[in-house]
Chains A and B, each alone.
Chain A
Amino acid sequence: MSMNTQGRPTGVGTVGTGASGSALIPDEPLLFEIGDTEHSGVDLPDVTFSGDRLGGFARKSKLDLAGLTEPEAMRHYVRLSRMNHSIDSGMYPLGSCTMKHNPRLNEKMARLPGFSDIHPLQPVSTVQGALEMMNQLSHWLLTLTNTAAVALSPKAGAHGELLGMMAIKAAQEAKGEAHRTVVLVPESAHGTNPATAAFLGYTVKPVPAKDDGTVDVEAVKAALSPDVAAIMLTNPNTCGLFEPQVIEIAKAVHDAGAFFYCDGANFNAIMGVVRPGDLGIDAMHINLHKTFSTPHGGGGPGAGPVVLSEALAPFAPVPFVRKTANGLELVEHIEGDALGRVTAFHGQMGMYVRALTYMLSHGDDGLAQAAQDAVLNANYIKARLQHIFSVPFPDYPTMHEALFDDSFLRDSGVSTLDFAKALIDEGFHPMTMYFPLVVHGAMLIEPTESESKQTLDRFCDVMAELATDAIAGNKERFTSAPTKAPRRRLDETRAARQPVLKWEKPADLPQAAE
C-alpha cells in the first residue's frame, strides 16, 4: 500500500473495512487515481499553426491534469454525489441557513439563453430584458422591505454586509463624522458581523444580551457614544427571537447619530409579514440563497443584495439600473458620493432570475404564508420537544428557529456534538451546533416552511427518542456515531496540524513506513 509523507493511504483500494464501498453507499477513488493525462471526455480538433503570438511565454512546465472520458466522468461524479446529504433527500434543519426546497422551475428559467448566454459587457441596448428583470427583482425587494434603494451586486451575505457597512462609513464621512470608529455588535451576532466591522477598521464593542435572549434598549443606550458609527443587529436574532424593542433601539441609534445595520439572514421568518424599513433599519442584506430559495450548491454561490434607507441611498455602489426616456439604463460609473464597485460586472444574475421566479410563483400572499409556516414549524418543534429538551429563552414564542441548550444532557457524558452525530444515523442532517455562542452547547433548529407535518413529527419522535436514550445513559450510541454514514468521525486535528491540501502522485512522495 502506498503511503504519503503523513503515512496516510493514498492509492486506489486503500480504503479499509468500515461501512464504505458496499451496497448503495459507494466509495470512490480520486479523479487523479482513475484518470490520466491521455484520457479526455471532450472531442476537440488538434489544430496546428505556425507563428504563434505568445511572445516566448508558451508553457514549458507540465500540467499533469487527469482526464476522464464521458462515461467515466459521469460515474465518478454520480458516485461522489451519493456521499452527500441534501435537501432533496432529507430534512436539513441547519439553523441560520434556511435550507428550504429549491424549485426546479427556477433552474429552468436561469438557463434560458436570454439570461444565461448574455455577456455583462455587451451593448446595453441588447440586454433590455435583463435590466427589466433586475428592475422587477428590485421592486419586489424594496416593496417587501419598505426601503428606498437596493444594491443588487454583492456576491453573498457577508459581501452584502461589507457593502452595507462601507455605505455607512461613507455616509458618516460625508457628514464630517469620520471620527466615529466604533461599531456595536451584540454577543449573539454571526461571526461575519464583527469580521466585517473589523475589516473596515472599526473597533467592535459587544452589547450584552438580556437573560431572555433579546437585546436591551438600555444596554444599547449605555453603549452609544459620539464615537459610535453603527450598530449591527440581526432581527429576528440568532436565538430565533424577534427583538421586541427594535423600534426603540433604532430610535436610540439614530438619535446618537449612528446607523442601524440589520443582518437580514433571518428574513425568511418575516417576509411579507413585517417590513424591516418600518422598524427603522438603514441597511440590510438579503440572502437570496436563503430566503428566496436559490440553491446552496454545496456552499455557494450565494447572493446578498443590500436594501438601503433614504439616508444611505446616495451611497449605493455601482452598478444600478435606472429608467430613462430611452429605456432602461445601466449606471456603471461612480456619481457623487457612491462608493464605487464591490465586484466586477453586475452581480449574481443567475441568482436574480431564480429569486424573481420564486417570488412570482409565491406572490405576496404565498411569501407571507411561507414565513408564517416557517414560524409555525419552528414553534411546533419547540412545543413537541420542550418537555425533554431545555429551552434557554422560554419567554417569547420563537420565530423560524427552535433553540435548545445542552442542560438536558448534563451528566450524561453526551455532548451536543455527539447528539448531533447520532442524528446522522437516524437519517437527518444535524442542526446548527454551538451557535449562537451566548447559549451553552446550543442546538439551533430551522425546519423552514418546506417540511410537512409528517416529517416534523418523525423528526420530533427521533429527537425525543435520542434524548431519552442519552439521559438513560446509553452513551456509546452517541460517542461512536455516526456508524451508518459513508464515513465515521473524521480526524480534524490531524487535518489542521499536517495539512494535505492537494493530491500528490505517490511516486513523488517520500515513502513512509508506519
Chain B
Amino acid sequence: MRYLPHSAHERADMLGVIGAADIDALFSAVPKSALKSFDLGLPAHQPEFLVEAHMRALASKNHAAGDGPFFVGAGAYRHHVPATVDHLIQRSEWLTAYTPYQPEISQGTLQMLFEFQTQVAKIMGMDVANASLYDGSTGTAEAVLMARRLTRKNKIVLSGGLHPHYRDVVKAYLKDDPDLVCLSPSPEGQGDILQQIDGNTAAIVIQTPDFYGHLRDLKSAAEAAHAQGALLIVVVTEVVSLGLLEAPGALGADIVVAEGQSIGNALNFGGPYLGLMATRKEFIRQMPGRLCGETVDADGNRGFVLTLSTREQHIRREKATSNICTNSGLCALAFSIHMGLLGEAGFVRLARLNHFNAIKLADALEGVPGVTVLNKTFFNEMTIRTPQPAAGLVERLARRGILAGVPASRLLPNDRSVDNLIILAATELTTDADISALAAALTEELA
C-alpha cells in the first residue's frame, strides 16, 4: 500500500522490539467479541489511476458553474480565484502544518493570521477581527451568543432579510428559546425590525445586502439598538460588497459576521467556507475563536502567538466562550493571499465590476415580459418575481444549460408567498452573452 512505509520484515522486527507475538497482542484490551469480528465487504486498496477514474466519473455527472451561464448566489458566490492563490495554499508548509501551538516554528501561519485579522478589521471598519470561524452561518450563531454574554440580556431579533439557513442555524443553537424572535421573510424591503427592540433586547441581527439583495440602513438600526442598550450584529454573505459599500463599523455595528468564501475560495458545493468575525476592542474577551497577537521573542525580535486563549475550551473547559476548537485556517490563507493580491485598488475595482454587471443583469431582466425586479437597491444580487412558480422555471432553464439562480422556495418551502421569486447574482465572471442567453431563455419559457 503506497502510503504505508513498513515492509513485512520491518513490522516483524518492530513487534520483536516490543515483545509482542503478533499485532493482535497490541489490541489485547479490545473485547474479543469486537476485534475484527466482521467482514466489512468494502473494496480493497486500488492504484492511484483507478481511484482517479472513479472520482472523475462522479465529478462528470455534475454541471459545473463554468459549463454555462450561471447566476446562482444566495450566500455563496462564484468569483475568479487567481492561480497564484491555489498554488500557494498547496505548498507543503501551509497545507500540512497544524494549529500554531509551537509559535517558534509556526511564524508563517501566525504572521499570516495577524495580516488576515488586520485585513478583515479594515474592510469591516472594526477594531479587531478573529482568526476565522467555520463559516458565516455558524459565525452568526456565535455572534448572537456573544451579544448575550456582553449585554446580559436575552432577546435576539433576526431580520426577515437574514439568509434562511443562517436563521435555521441560530434556531438550532438556541433550540426552543422563547427570547429568539425571527421576523418573517421580507422580500419587498426593510421590514419592521426596529419596532422589535426593547429593554430586554441583547441584539438585532441585520444582513446587508440581505437575502433578497436589498441594501439595509445600518446607521438607523445601530442608533435604534443603542438607544435601548442593545447591540447591532451585521451579517454580510457577499464580502466583495464591502469594496463598494460603507463599512458596517463606520455605521455603528457592534459585531460584524461575514461569509468570506467569495475571496480566494471556490464554491465547493457549500464548504469548506470561511467565517469572518470582527468587533469592538472592548468586546474581545467575549469573542469566540482563535486570536493571533503580536509580541517579541527572547531576543527581542517581533513575533506572533495565539493569544487570549483563556477564553477557549482547552483552558476553560466548561466555562469557555464557545466549544470551537478549530478555525478555517487554509481558507483564511486563501482569503488573505487573494486580498493581498487585490489590494485596495483591486478590491474596489472588483466590487465595481460586480455592481456594473448586476446593473446590466437587472436591466435585462426588467426587459423580460412578465418579470419584475423587486430591488430598488442592490450590490450584485437581486430578486425577481415571475408569473410562474420559480422552482419549475429554474429547473427548465437548467435543462437548457442555464443555472438561473435560486428559487426562494428552495430555502422557504413553507412560505407560499415566495413561490414565484428567483434570487439571481452577477459577478465579475458574468458576461454580456450570459445575460443575453438568460433573458432570451426566460422570455421563451414565459411566452
Nearest-neighbor residue (CB-CB) of B330 within chain A: A297
Residues 372-430 of B contacting A (Cβ, < 8 Å): 375-379, 394-395, 398, 403, 406, 410-411, 413, 428
Determine if A129 and B340 form an interchain contact, defined as CB atoms under 8 angstroms apart.
Answer: no
Question: Judging by beta carbons under 8 Å apart, are A301 and B134 in contact?
Answer: yes
Contact B111 A363 (CB under 8 A): no
Stretch at the interface among B95-103, B153-161, B197-205, B435-443: B95-103
Q: Which of A151-194 contact B (CB under 8 A)?
A: 155-159, 161-162, 166, 169-170, 190-192, 194
Please determine whether B43 and A65 come into contact, CB atoms closer than 8 angstroms. no
Contacts of B84 in A (CB 8 A): 41, 70, 73-74
**What string of 1s and 0s marks CB contacts (under 8 Å) between A286-325 and chain B?**
0000000001111111110000000000000100000000
**CB within 8 A of B345: which of A39, A110, A111?**
A39
Q: A298, B377: Cβ atoms under 8 Å?
A: no
A487 to B293 alpha-carbon distance, docked (Å): 15
Note all chain A residues with C-beta closer than 8 A to B349: 40, 44-47
A115 in contact (CB, < 8 A):
yes
Q: Which of B75-112 contact A (CB under 8 A)?
A: 75-76, 78, 82, 84, 86, 88-109, 111-112
- For A128, the chain B residues whose CB sits under 8 A away are 61-62
Interface residues on A, range: 35 or more
Q: Spot the interface stretch: B179-187, B222-230, B304-312.
A: B304-312
- Contact between A85 and B102, CB atoms less than 8 A apart: yes
**Which residues of B are found within 8 Å of A119, using beta-carbon distances?**
65, 70, 72, 76, 78, 267, 269, 403
Contact B327 A299 (CB under 8 A): yes
Expressed in whole angstroms, the minimum distance between the Cβ of A322 and any Cβ of chain B is 16
Give min CB distance, A356 to chain B, whole Å. Answer: 7
- How far, in whole Å, are A86 and B97 apart by their CA atoms in the complex? 4
The distance from the CB of B66 to the nearest CB of chain A, in whole angstroms, is 5
Contact B45 A158 (CB under 8 A): no
Contact pick for B105, options A365, A399, A424, CB 8 Å:
A424
Looking at chain A's contact residues, is the secondary structure mostly helix, strand, loop, or mixed? loop
Contacts of A219 in B (CB 8 A): none
* A217 to B94 CA separation, bound complex (whole angstroms): 43
Docked CA distance A30–B395 (Å) = 49
B29–A54 touching, CB < 8 Å: no
* Chain A window 123-151, contacts with chain B (Cβ cutoff 8 Å), 1 for yes, 0 for no: 10111111011001000100110100000
Known contacts A77-B88, A275-B34, A297-B330; decide if A129 and B62 are in contact (CB<8 Å): yes
A451: CB under 8 A from chain B? yes
Residues of A within 8 A of B243 (CB): 59, 63
In angstroms, Cα B368 to Cα A352, docked, is 40
Residues of B within 8 A of A360 (CB): 43, 46, 51, 54-55
B66: chain A residues within 8 A (beta carbon): 113, 117
B152 at the interface (CB under 8 A from A): no
Let me know if B18 is at the binding interface, CB within 8 A.
yes
Residues of A within 8 A of B1 (CB): 362, 365-366, 369-370
With known contacts A55-B215, A122-B403, A195–B317 Cβ distance under 8 A: yes
Choose from A116, A121, A279 the contact partner of B406 (Cβ within 8 Å): A121
Q: Are B340 and A76 in contact (CB under 8 A)?
A: yes
Question: In this assembly, does A102 line the interface, its C-beta being within 8 Å of a C-beta of chain B?
Answer: yes
Whether the pair B325, A157 counts as a contact (CB closer than 8 A) is yes
Question: Is there an interface contact between A65 and B4, defined as CB atoms closer than 8 Å?
Answer: no
Query: Which of A244, A272, A366 is the one whose CB lies under 8 Å from B31?
Result: A244
- Contact B343–A489 (Cβ < 8 Å): no
Partner of A116, one of B215, B267, B322: B267
Confirm or deny: B37 has a beta carbon within 8 angstroms of a beta carbon on chain A.
yes
Nearest-Cβ distance from residue A347 to partner chain B, whole angstroms: 5
CB distance B355 to A53 under 8 Å? Answer: yes
Q: Are B14 and A380 in contact (CB under 8 A)?
A: yes
Q: Could you tell me the distance between the alpha carbons of A45 and B61 in the complex, rounded to whole angstroms? A: 35
Asked if A351 and B30 make an inter-chain contact with CB atoms under 8 angstroms apart, the answer reads no
> Which residues from 443 to 502 on chain A have a C-beta closer than 8 Å to any C-beta of chain B?
449-453, 480, 482, 485-492, 494-496, 499-502
Decide yes or no whether B301 CB sits under 8 A from chain A.
yes
Q: Is the CB of A54 within 8 A of B215?
A: yes
Q: Is B286 an interface residue (CB 8 A)?
A: no
In Å, the complex CA distance between A259 and B300 comes to: 53
Bound together, the chains give a CA A487 to CA B94 distance in angstroms of 18
A18 in contact with B55 given A144-B40, A299-B326, A344-B75 (CB within 8 Å): no
B166 within 8 A of A: yes
Are B114 and A30 in contact, with the CB atoms below 8 A? yes
Asked whether B196 is an interface residue with its Cβ less than 8 Å from the other chain, the reply is no
A111 touches B86 (CB 8 A): yes
With A92-B98, A162-B323, A332-B410 known as contacts, the answer to whether A343 contacts B134 (CB < 8 A) is yes
Residues in B whose Cβ lies below 8 Å from that of A351: 271-272
Report yes or no: B303 in contact with A487, Cβ–Cβ below 8 A. Answer: yes
The interface bits of chain B over 270-301 (1 if a CB of A lies within 8 angstroms of the residue's CB, else 0) are: 11110000000000100000111111111111
CA of A166 to CA of B97, assembled, Å? 31
B431 at the interface (CB under 8 A from A): no
A241 lies within 8 A of B27 (CB): no
CB 8 Å contact bits of B1-13 with A (1 = contact, 0 = none): 1111110001101
**Residues of chain A within 8 A of B446, CB atoms compared:** none
Contact B76–A121 (Cβ < 8 Å): yes
**Is A196 in contact with chain B by the CB < 8 A criterion?**
yes
**Is B299 a contact partner of A17 (Cβ separation < 8 A)?**
yes
The answer to whether B46 and A363 touch across the interface, beta carbons within 8 angstroms, is yes
Hey, which chain A residues are within 8 Å of B129, CB to CB? 501-502
Chain-B contact segment, one of A221-229, A334-342, A405-413:
A334-342
Q: Of A8, A53, A59, A430, which contacts B302 at CB under 8 A?
A: A8
Known: A299-B100, A343-B137, A421-B104. A129 touches B58 (CB 8 A): yes
- Report the Cα distance A58→B243, complex, angstroms: 9
- A-chain residues with CB within 8 Å of residue B137 when the two chains form the complex: 343-344
Contact A42 B271 (CB under 8 A): no
Out of A73, A195, A361, which one reaches B318, CB within 8 Å?
Answer: A195
| B206 at the A interface (CB under 8 A) | no
Residues of A within 8 A of B310 (CB): 496
A478 CB to nearest chain B CB (Å): 14
A453-B38 CB under 8 A given contacts A347-B270, A349-B271, A376-B26? no
Say yes or no: is B149 at the interface (Cβ < 8 Å to chain A): no
With A42-B346, A76-B340, A299-B326 already in contact, the answer to whether A65 and B410 are too (CB < 8 A) is no
Q: Which residues of B contact A38 (CB under 8 A)?
A: 343-345
A9-49 near B? 1/0 per residue, CB < 8 Å: 11000111110100000001011100111111110111101
In this assembly, does A508 line the interface, its C-beta being within 8 Å of a C-beta of chain B? no
Q: Which residues of A contact B266 (CB under 8 A)?
A: 111, 116-117, 350
Interface presence of A513 (CB below 8 A)? no
A50 → B minimal CB distance (Å): 10
Is B55 a contact of A112 with CB atoms below 8 Å? Answer: yes
Is A397 in the interface zone, CB < 8 Å from B?
yes
| Identity of the chain A residue whose Cβ is nearest the Cβ of B336 in the assembled complex | A31
Would you call A344 and B136 a contact (CB within 8 A)? Answer: yes
Closest chain A residue to B321 by CB distance? A195
A284–B225 Cα distance when bound, in Å, is 41
A278 close to B34 (CB less than 8 A): yes
Partner of B63, one of A118, A302, A396: A118
In the assembled complex, A67 has its CB within 8 A of some CB on chain B: yes
Beta-carbon contact of A129 and B60 below 8 Å? yes
Contact across chains for B4 and A370 when beta carbons are under 8 A apart:
yes
13 interchain pairs, CB-CB under 8 A: A8-B294, A31-B115, A37-B343, A42-B82, A73-B84, A119-B403, A296-B98, A298-B112, A298-B330, A344-B259, A421-B104, A490-B298, A502-B128
Please give me the 8 A-B residue pairs with the lowest Cβ-Cβ distance, nearest first: A67-B343, A114-B59, A345-B270, A129-B61, A297-B330, A120-B270, A88-B92, A301-B272
Instruction: Supply 5 further A-B pairs (C-beta < 8 A) apart from A80-B111, A364-B43.
Output: A65-B122, A247-B31, A297-B329, A345-B273, A379-B20
